[in-house]
Amino acid sequence: MRIATRGSALALAQASWVAEQLPGEHELVTVTTSGDRGGGPSDKARWVDAVERALLDGEADLAVHSAKDVPAQLAPGTVLLGSPPREDPRDAVLGELRPGARVGTSSLRRRAQLLATYDDIEVVELRGNVDTRLRKLAEGEVDAAVLALAGLRRLGRTDGARPLDLVPAAGQGTLALQAREGAQELSISDPETTACLAAERAVVRVLEADCHSAVGAHCQRTSHPSLRLVAWVGAPDGSAWLRDELEGDDPEALGTAVAERLLSAGARELLS
């Protein structure tokens, strides 16, 4: 099986882990996306375009993504096969989150929730891969940096990381396995993780959110078969926000219902 992945350290670690869980022989096919080249569309598609193209061109049989990077609409002719068990979905802070601190993040969602929670910090742009952001923190460019705890764990970089009580991005901590239509589901797919990802992605789809939207969504199993879904929408400066939660059995219906409730409460105005 040929497994397509981006070439970042985190993407390679994730794809290698998937390959180790699957029977038989596997080959990693490393591709460079528009996002890696610093161009392409201004939405999440720039991080998956070349990976999806490798599938459709027959150059790969499976693609491994960070689920939070996968657009609500997949490339025609492809499907998600499910997800292995989820890593910790929370955000984490490294450094000092003290009054007056310069806190670095590249996420609009994190920026909005941090500003909504702390009124005495300055949130600044902090881009690059995990190692680049940690280096900038060590060099004093920022006093603290907020990253996904799952990525830190997969790279073994959790020293000093402290979880934050923010609503994570839809799919954060989850791997999305994508293939051409007609492919069989893989043995490593976890039903609970797959159901929760479907609910979170439904929120994003109905809200028409993208990487420029301050939107969080997190689903958990409460009891079989019930799921609990929390979603958050905010203004980029944290001055106004909405939060809703609901329980249900059907992931798609649950995500749709939560998103529609947020829209009826004014989410569209916050997103625009």
Mark out the alpha helices in the chain (DSSP H runs).
Answer: 9-21, 49-56, 108-117, 130-138, 149-154, 191-207, 251-264, 267-271
Instruction: Give the pair of three-digit tokens for residue 171.
Output: 């799919």
N- to C-terminal Cα separation, the chain: 43
User: With contact defined as beta carbons under 8 Å apart, do 198 and 255 qualify?
Assistant: yes
Q: Tell me which residue of 113, 117, 110 sits closest to 126, measured CA to CA.
A: 110
User: With contact defined as beta carbons under 8 Å apart, do 231 and 260 qualify?
Assistant: no
Catalytic residue among 36, 49, 57, 69, which?
A: 69
Coil, strand or helix: which one is 76? coil
User: With contact defined as beta carbons under 8 Å apart, do 229 and 253 qualify?
Assistant: no
Residue 69: active-site member: yes
User: With contact defined as beta carbons under 8 Å apart, do 224 and 255 qualify?
Assistant: no
User: With contact defined as beta carbons under 8 Å apart, do 39 and 46 qualify?
Assistant: yes
Known catalytic residues?
69
